Chains A and B, each alone.
Chain A
Amino acid sequence: MKAARFDRILSRVVDIRPGERPFAALLFLYFFLITFPAYIIKPVKLSLLLRSFKAGDLPYAYLLSAVLIGFVVALNARLIERLPRRRYQAGTILFFMSNLVLFWFLFKSHWPGLRLIYWFWSDVFIATTVTQFWIAVNDVFHPHQAKRLIGFLVSGGLLGGICGSLSAGRLARIIGTESLLLVCPVVLVGTFVVVQALHRRRERVEAGDGVRPHVPDRRSSVPSHPLEGFRILRRNRYLTFLAGVLALAVIIGTLFELQFNTILQGAVTDKDARSAFIAAFYGILLIISYLFQLFVSGPILRRFGIKTALVIGPVLLLAGALSIFVVPAAALLGWAVAARGVDKGMDNTINQSVRELLYIPVPAAVKYKAKLFIDIFVTKFSSGLGALLFLAAFTGLGWPVRKISFLSLALIVVWIVLVRLIHLEYIRVVKQDLERRWEDGHKLVAEKVDLDMTRLIFDTIQSREKSSSLYLMNLFDLVGKDNLTPELKKLIASQAEDYRLRSLDSVLDVGAEASGLDVGDILDDADWQKNIREILELDSYRKVMDDYLHKTLSGTNRADEISRMEAAKLLGLRGPSAEVVRGLKALLADPSAEVLNYAIASAARIRKKELVPALIGHLVNPQIRQIAADALVAHGEKALPALKSHLEDGRKGLDLRRAIPDVLARIGTPRAADMLLGELDRKKAEGLEAEVIEALFRLKSRDPDFRFREKRIIPLVLDQIRRSCRLFLDLCSAKAEASCPDVRSDVRMALALKRIFELLSLVYPIEDIVRAYQNLLTGTERSADYSLELLDNILNKEIRDSLAPLVEAWPPEERMRRCRKLLLESRRPKP
């Protein structure tokens, strides 16, 4: 009961799914237990350093850290490569614990140089422990999961910071600054325990999935080069952009910080009052950051995505940097507090969250080394660079503190450009992890099989037993094809038997059996086809055959099926003429499927508009539907008017109308596409919807450059989503929410989703949509997560929010609630 109530409260601020709770809780604690000591170590470092040096010397301390930190990065990169993750993290914690005790002991000597060493050490501690925490997050969560949970996780860090600050503030006067260090190892014991628990749980989960936790093979791995992190960055555009974004944020943050320190030093001259002011400022800032992170960051990320979250920080700082030029002198301290507050607040919350999310889809092979380099070296180096810029402008050029904001402004503009670029790269990196799970069937067949040729081969072989004339006419067609392979010639020649000449027989009364004609000779005889073609074009031949065909196809002496098949074939070999069209019209009404097969194939060659209605009529006949469709496609735009009228005519049978969209897709012209869209727009598309949508998708698959207007398609997408929601609610039993269908297991929902994604592919990059759909349906948990993340970043907000109940792995009651809300909103009249 208590657990359920706790879950309900927690669910108001964070969307945690079953199975995620233990990891989320452990990581929350982990972050809490490293920022707690960090916010004790920080004020100790500043306080001790300022005993020996002035505030104006601080930039030099930053520079020192920046120069030395590279060695720490190289060492960490080597350790992370060679040691199992568990040992690396646990060993680091124990190392830092021992260091803290050692520093406490050594501070008794009051050696000033030790404070500088401690300054550098504290930077290493904070950077390393925080980086290790984020490595742990990367190991556990996928991008879409992390986006949901990061607000919660970061709030753990902020809470740790608040508790650490408050503890430092209270205990400093009681036990002294140096003795504060002894509090940290005690807290770090908790960190050690949490890290062990995290690894044990991960190992259990992976064992359950049959996955062995990664253990690096020390014998085979090449030792890292100290500059490997830099090399990785150089080769990887995404990581370079990421480093650039972080570097700019840190440089700008350093400029704001030094402006803040300078203004504060001028406004509050008493040292103790200043210390109290700083302590209060950072304390309140942490509390506000914590609340912001818990209640605002997460919803921003979930609702607006990474793209918006990336730009919030720089836009606010842009406003801050501009505003210094209009703020009166008396209000400068207020400006400094606000600007530094926004900068540090954003850095503690949404900027940090987004930066960490950007790491998650990076392949593990490069991620951790690059992360160490970026998080530790680039951060410190940028901090040093910011300090250097400040020194150069403030001390070197004598700029007033307001003018420093020019530097910030220039850098913020670059930052804003860079966030746009990095978002595009982020999408590309997420996509890299998504592979097609299956190829399109039509495309596979079209690429590998010549269907016309295949059909002709089968007809040729079959016709050999029916009629020698039919057989030879089919051979004539085959020989005319360029792609008659030697194997095929051999097959046909080896299966040839004696045959009888029948066409010419009946006209010229030859009546003799021809025997011994080698089909192989025909196939190799280049002149054979030329001779036949010349005969077919003779006026005399045409006259004779027209009479023959007239007798064959009409009257009470209507010829047998074979003769009609021969006639149908022959008509296709002749050029288009009134007699040919008349003959084919009659044959297209023939009761025999075999005759129709040849008649339709001939109609496809002749391509006369008068034959189209008859061809359309045959779309209902399963025996010849496919060949009739092929013939209509061969007619192209000529067939469109008749196809349109049949499609729109509700009196025509559904079977017939359902066969037309595929023909239109294969014709594939803009007019054909318009007809399909028109059918969807008309509310009378009931019963045809699936076929029309599939046809549109097929059209787009064949020609990805084909453009559909978003304004026309988006309403159709939303309509399909609403229908799918209705289907979902109908399928969920009100009493048994566990019976709610899932797209992976329920074929009706899968088909409903297929229609939505087929429409989406008309206006979004088709390959992205197809991969997302396939991985949502049949992918692993990881690839499904990446699919959701990809969709989050490419779809417009309205579609994303509407689609979510159908694709997100929310509890059934949540999905039902959202579906009902969507349907309710759709019924409200639009403003």
Chain B
Amino acid sequence: MEIRKRTQGDVAIIDIEGEIKRSDISDVTLHQVVKDHLEAGLRNILLNLEKVRFIDSFGVGEILASFISTQNLGGKFKMARISKKIFLIFDVTMLTRVLEIFDTEESALQSFPKV
């Protein structure tokens, strides 16, 4: 899994490529990357999953942990460009009730509260 970071305005965008799974984590986990952003004062986090092919239960745990950390500091955590296959699983497991998922990065960015 590769993680790339960029910002647009006050939103930290995290681009992930590959598979978010237990057996294939990079030096730093997704949750740690999100926590680093939060500690730097960025409270709006957008996860771009366009190039993610697969997520296992560990990956779900990382996403939920990131959501919780962001939420508890009053921030917003959102996701965009998730594949249909993964979205279906998120939907059936009711994760979509908690996680905001957008079709495009633009619509996700517009949904963040303006300062």
Q: Spell out A's residues near B (CB within 8 Å).
A: 437-442, 444-445, 448-451, 453-459, 461-462, 485, 487-488, 491, 592-594, 597, 622-624, 626-627, 746-747, 750, 754, 774, 777-778
Contact = CB atoms under 8 A, between A and B. Distances in A.
B11 interface: no
A622 B29 contact: yes
A728 B61 CA distance: 36
A448 B71 contact: no
Contact of B89 (A439, A458, A747): A458
Nearest to B41: A747
B114 to A, nearest CB: 13
Contacts of A627: 57-58, 61
Given A623-B58, A747-B38, A774-B74, 18 more contacts: A438-B74, A439-B71, A440-B71, A442-B68, A445-B68, A448-B97, A449-B94, A450-B94, A455-B57, A462-B21, A462-B56, A487-B92, A488-B93, A491-B89, A593-B58, A622-B25, A747-B39, A750-B73
Nearest to A494: B88
21 contacts: A441-B71, A442-B68, A449-B64, A449-B95, A453-B93, A454-B60, A455-B57, A455-B61, A456-B57, A457-B92, A458-B55, A458-B56, A594-B23, A597-B58, A622-B25, A622-B31, A622-B32, A624-B22, A626-B58, A747-B39, A750-B73
Interface of B: 21-23, 25, 29, 31-32, 38-41, 54-61, 64-65, 67-74, 88-89, 92-95, 97-98
Nearest to B61: A626
Rank and list the top 10 A-B pairs by shortest CB-CB distance, nearest first: A441-B71, A441-B68, A458-B57, A455-B57, A747-B41, A454-B93, A448-B97, A626-B61, A593-B22, A622-B29
Contact of A491 (B29, B64, B92): B92
Nearest to A488: B92
A1 B22 CA distance: 67
A594 B59 CA distance: 13
A623 B74 contact: no
Contact of B25 (A440, A445, A623, A750): A623
B22 A449 contact: no
B93 A449 contact: yes
Given A454-B95, A778-B74, A441 B89 contact: no
B60 to A, nearest CB: 6
Contacts of A778: 74
Contacts of A626: 58, 61, 65
B98 A459 contact: no
A442 B31 CA distance: 15
A474 B89 CA distance: 16
B96 to A, nearest CB: 10
A459 B92 contact: no
Contacts of B89: 457-458, 461, 491
A620 to B, nearest CB: 12
Contacts of A774: 74
